[in-house]
Structure 1
Amino acid sequence: MNYRHAFHAGNHADVLKHVALLALCDALRAKPAACFALDTHAGRGLYSLDAVAAKRTGEAEGGVAKLRATGDTHIARYLAAIEACRAAHGPKAYPGSPWLLAHALREQDRIACCELQPDEASILNIEFRDDPRVVVHQRTDGYAAMKALLPPRSGQTRFARGLVLIDPPYEAQLEEFDLAIAALRDGLQRWPQGMFALWYPIKLRRSLPPFYRRAATMEAKSALVVELLVRPDDSPLRMNGSGLLILNAPYQFDRQFRHTLNALRNALQEPAGGNAHMEWLRAPA
C-alpha cells in the first residue's frame, strides 16, 4: 500500500470528513454516558501543511485554506479545533481524525486508532503516549480491527454508544466498496447500536448507485449519505468530491447538517460549480 495522507491533508475531502466527524462527536457528547470511537484507517493523526508532501500537491489550498467563518456552528467548531491544534503544534499544523477525536471527546471516553504503516503508527503512539484514553494499534487490516474491537469494552465496561470511522485509501478503486460493505455488515452485527461513518471519494457519481443500493439494505436503523462536490463529477481521473455514508445517524442530524453542507459547497466550489447532496437511503422510523 503506497497511499500517504500527508499529500492530501486539509483538502476538500478532509474538510467535509472532519466537519462531519466533529458534529458526530458533539452528538455523542450530548449524553453523559461514556462512549467509544474506533478509527480504522487512522494515518499519523497530525500533519504539517508546510511539509514537502503537502506543498507538492497544494490540495489544502482548495480546502481548509479557503474556509472562513460563516456563522455556521459546525464550521466554527472545526475552525476552532484547527486553531487549538496550531496553538499546540505550530501555525501550519493540520489535525487528522485521531487528533480531532481526542480533542472532541471526554475524559471518560475511549478511542482506538488503527494504522497499517509502521512509521505512521509510531508517530501516532508518540502523539498519544500521555493520553490514557487513546490506544494505537499497528495492524495490517483496518477492517479486521472491527472484528477484533467490536463490541467495544474497556475492562469491565461495555460501551453502548460510539462511532466507527472508516476512511480507507481506495487504492483498490471500486473494489474497496465491496470490502467496506462487508465490514459494515459485520460491524453492525457486532455492535448494532453504534454509529458507522464510511468516507468515499467521488469521481463519477454515476458509478455509485450500486453502492447506494447495497448500503440501503444494511441492518441499521438509518442510512444517510452526505456528499460535497467542488467541481462537476465528469472526470474519472481526479477526485471531484467525496461523501460519507452514515449508519445510525444521530437524531435530526440531517436537519442540523444541511446548512453546513451548503455553506461548505459555497466556500469550496470551483468556478465551474459544485454540488451538495444529502439523502436518506434508509430513513429512520
Structure 2
Amino acid sequence: MLSYRHSFHAGNFADVLKHIILIQNLEYLTKKDKPFCCIDTHAGPGKYELDGEYALKTREFENGIAKLWQRKDLPECVARYVSLIKRFNSPDKLTRYPGSPLITKQLLRDKDRLCLFELHNTEIKLLTAEANKDKRINVFHADGLTDCLKLLPPFERRGLVLIDPSYEIKSDYQQVVETLVAMHKRFATGTYALWYPVIERSRNQKLERAIKAGGINNVQLFELGIRADSNEHGMTASGMIVINPPWTLAAEMKQVLPWLAEVLGNNNEGFYRIETLVSDD
C-alpha cells in the first residue's frame, strides 16, 4: 500500500472515467446554494508531471487524456473535463495532470470544504504544498479508509466521499465495502463514489455482491473497458460505484461511455457497463 505511486498511471483511461464522474458529482452539488464537504480518502500528491520519469515509463496517459486533448467532437461533459485539465497546461502542450484534489479545488466555492487524506510519506508532503494554505482545504497524514469516519456526518449535511484505494492488497476489496457500510450509517444522505480496477473479474463480482448485500439503496455502477477481460497481467477496465448519485448521472453516462469505449478501446475491444446494483426504494 505504501509503495504505490499513482504517477505511473496518471491520466490513463481509468483517470478519465473517474474524474469525469467526480466532476459531474461536484457540479451537481454546486447547483444548490448550500455548502458541501468533499472527502478524498486517497488523495495522492495532488498533481502529476506527464513529462516526468514515472509517467514516461508507462506512458499510460497516451491512451487516456492525450487521446482527448485536441479532439473537437467531445461530448459535453467530456469537454468540461478536458477544459479543466487544460487549466494546468499551456494551450498547445499536455505536460501536467491534476489529481482529484486539484480537480475538486477548481470546483469549490468559498463556503465549501475539501478534506484530503494521504498515508504515503512522500506524497503527503507534495499534497500539503499543493493545498497551499487554502482555508477551504484540510490535509490529513492518515489512513482515509478508517480516519475519515471521524468527519462524518459533515456539519454541512451535504457532501461527496471519493474512495480511491490502490487495491494492491486483496483485502482492500472487502475493506472498502465494510467502510462504505460504516460511512453510510453515519451519513446516509451523502454521495459516495468508489473507484475500482478490473484485473481479475472474480474479485469485482465478489465486490458487487458484497455491496448488494450491504443494506445500502440507490447504488449505480459505471464501467469503462479498453480490452476484454483477461488472465494476463494488467488492468483491462475500471469503474465507479456511486451511492446516491445525481439523478442526471446515468443519462449523461449513457451518452459518454459508448463514445469513450470507442475512442479509448484497443483494437475495437472497448466496452462499457451501466448498471443499477441496488434500486432507490
TM-score (norm 1): 0.93
CA distance in 1, matches of 2:61, 2:278: 33
CA distance in 1, matches of 2:89, 2:152: 33
Whether 1:277 aligns to 2:267 is no
CA distance in 1, matches of 2:122, 2:3: 13
Alpha-carbon distance change, 109 to 203 in structure 1, aligned in 2, over 3 angstroms: same
8 Å CA contact retained: 1:146, 1:183: no
Whether 1:124 aligns to 2:121 is no
Segments of 5+ residues of structure 2 without an aligned counterpart are none
Letter in 1 for 2:152: L
Correspondences of 1:233-272 after superposition (within 5 Å): 233-272=229-268
Aligned twin of 1:215: 211
CA distance in 1, matches of 2:21, 2:152: 22
How far is the alpha carbon of 1:206 from its aligned partner?
4.2
Correspondences of 1:95-174 after superposition (within 5 Å): 95-139=98-142, 141-152=143-154, 158-173=155-170
8 Å CA contact retained: 1:48, 1:94: yes
Secondary structure class of the residue paired with 2:146: helix
How far is the alpha carbon of 1:221 from its aligned partner?
3.4
8 Å CA contact retained: 1:41, 1:166: yes
Letter in 1 for 2:164: D
Letter in 1 for 2:63: G
TM-score (norm 2): 0.94
CA distance in 2, matches of 1:178, 1:250: 26
8 Å CA contact retained: 2:181, 2:216: no
CA distance in 2, matches of 1:138, 1:41: 10
Alpha-carbon distance change, 122 to 198 in structure 1, aligned in 2, over 3 angstroms: same
Q: For residues 106-151 of structure 1, give each alpha carbon's deviation from its aligned partner in whole angstroms, at most 9, with x where no partner exists.
A: 1111000000112211111111123211111111x22112222211
8 Å CA contact retained: 1:40, 1:115: yes
Letter in 2 for 1:3: Y
8 Å CA contact retained: 2:50, 2:94: no
How far is the alpha carbon of 1:62 from its aligned partner?
1.1
8 Å CA contact retained: 1:43, 1:120: yes
Whether 1:93 aligns to 2:96 is yes
Aligned twin of 2:62: 61
Whether 1:84 aligns to 2:84 is no
Secondary structure class of the residue paired with 2:254: helix
CA distance in 2, matches of 1:87, 1:194: 36
Letter in 2 for 1:6: S
How far is the alpha carbon of 1:266 from its aligned partner?
1.4
Letter in 2 for 1:47: Y
- Count of residue pairs the alignment pairs up: 277
